[in-house]
Amino acid sequence: MKKSLIFLMAGAVAVAGLTGCSKDSEGLTKVTTYAVIELAGGQYATVEKGSTFVDPGFTATMGSEDVSGDVTISGSVNTAKCGFYTLTYSVVNPDGFAANATRTVAVVDHSSIASAYFASCKYGSRSYSNLKILITDNGDGTYAIDDLAGGLYCQGRYPGYEAYGYDFWYDEDLKLDGSTLTLAGEMGDGSNWYWGEPLDCVNGTYDAATGTISYLAAFSGNADDAISVTLTK
């Protein structure tokens, strides 16, 4: 049970006169019990493009009381389009304190490399997982990935910095030859990527059976100085 003490203190009021006197108000203490929301299946979920999303469910408790019926859900999932969608679950206790939980739903397409993916990436001692990467079909035999760095900087190390004008996304075009994944052209600069130094896609593979992509995002093509990236559907 999560509880918090709410202290309501009134100040002392002094009345001036020929003789001074004061009256202290009584200190009041109130106990409130917060609600807790638990998401069945965890914070992340996937659904196949074109199918129907079924929420894995949730439970909400307030002390020993089940308040799941009081939870409201905002957000929706468009299974007609690959991408990421956020569902927010909220409930408010009688004292007006809200509890919230969010679930990220990826709409994936196992019939194509163009899909939403959850990324795991590692560079040196830094590693991150459950980062959101989207690959789209350019319609000319190439595919656009919104961050070749696997989300290492834009979502892992520096989330939210876009609001201040920083571009940590390395967008690039890829081509697929059988199971081999490479850059569609020469190493670029990732458009306006903050770091400037170009990345190459080294040892890139796509396993169509599992929907898994793995590669090294190599700085200036140097495989010894590279971000290890794995994308899964």
Cβ-proximal residues to 231 (8 Å cutoff; 6+ apart), any chain: 117, 118, 119, 133, 135, 150, 212, 213, 214
Q: What is the pLDDT of residues 117-126, one digit of tens each?
A: 999 999 999 9
The answer on pLDDT for 110 being more than 80 is yes
What is the rounded distance in angstroms from the CA atom of residue 21 to the CA atom of residue 141?
A: 88
Q: What is the pLDDT of residues 42-96, one digit of tens each?
A: 999 999 999 999 999 999 999 999 999 999 999 999 999 999 999 999 999 999 9
Residue 86: half-sphere exposure toward Cβ, Cα within 13 Å: 5
The answer on pLDDT for 7 being more than 60 is no
The answer on pLDDT for 3 being more than 60 is no
| Residue 166, burial from CB neighbour count under 10 angstroms (0-12, 13-18, 19+) | middle
Q: Are 72 and 84 in contact (CB under 8 A)?
A: no
CA-to-CA separations, 111 to 37, 125, 126, 167, in angstroms, rounded: 35, 35, 32, 31
Please tell me which residue, 12 or 172, carries the higher pLDDT value.
172
Amino acid at 66: D
Sign, Cα dihedral of 180, 174, 43, 127: positive
The pairs formed by 193-202 with CB atoms below 8 angstroms and a separation of 24 or more are 193/167, 193/168, 193/169, 194/153, 194/166, 194/167, 194/168, 195/153, 195/168, 199/148, 199/149, 199/170, 199/172, 199/227, 201/148, 201/172, 201/174, 202/226
> Tokens 């903050």 belong to which residue?
194
What is the rounded distance in angstroms from the CA atom of residue 214 to the CA atom of residue 104?
A: 22
Q: What is the pLDDT of residues 178-212, one digit of tens each?
A: 999 999 988 876 667 898 899 999 999 999 999 99
Domains and CATH numbers, the chain: 35-108 (2.60.40.10), 115-232 (2.40.128)
Q: What is the pLDDT of residues 63-72, one digit of tens each?
A: 999 999 999 9
The answer on pLDDT for 224 being more than 80 is yes
> Tokens 């206790």 belong to which residue?
93
As given in the structure block, the two tokens for residue 174 are 């890829």
Q: At CA 156, angle to CA 154 and CA 161, rounded to 5?
A: 40
Residue 91: half-sphere exposure toward Cβ, Cα within 13 Å: 19
